[in-house]
Amino acid sequence: MTLNKVTIKTIAKKINVSPATVSKALRDSHDISEQTKLKIKKLAKKLGYKPNLMARNLVSKKSNIIGVIVPDISTSFFGLTVRGINYAARKHNYEVIILVNDE
């Protein structure tokens, strides 16, 4: 069974624009008209497009990952702290990796 992964190039070919235009539209760039953004986003959603985070990280040279090390996640203090960090990070498109160091 072959898995057909939807890419920026797939979307670009279907609506006859460049992959750069699709990328900019999906990132809400001001360089792209609202009409084009809407068309691209609608097609991306219809096709089930999921961004390739590894590719994005390589291009931007950023991982958008925050590491949090806590001694004990079962206490209310650290549990609430980690929850707050996770909430704030996701609002700004960061992922959180949590390590519990119970030594």
Please, what is the angle between helix 19-26 and helix 34-47, to 10°? 90
If you average pLDDT over residues 57-67, what whole number do you get? 86
pLDDT at 68 over 90: yes
Answer whether CATH 3.40.718.10 is correct for domain 8-58. Answer: no
Host H or E run for residue 88? helix 76-91
pLDDT band at residue 3 using 50, 70 and 90 as cut-offs: low
pLDDT at position 2: 46
- Kindly report the number of other CB atoms within 10 A of residue 24's CB atom: 18
If you average pLDDT over residues 51-63, what whole number do you get? 81
pLDDT at position 4: 64
Query: What residue spans define the domains of the chain?
Result: 8-58, 65-100
Q: Tokens at residue 38, please?
A: 């809407």
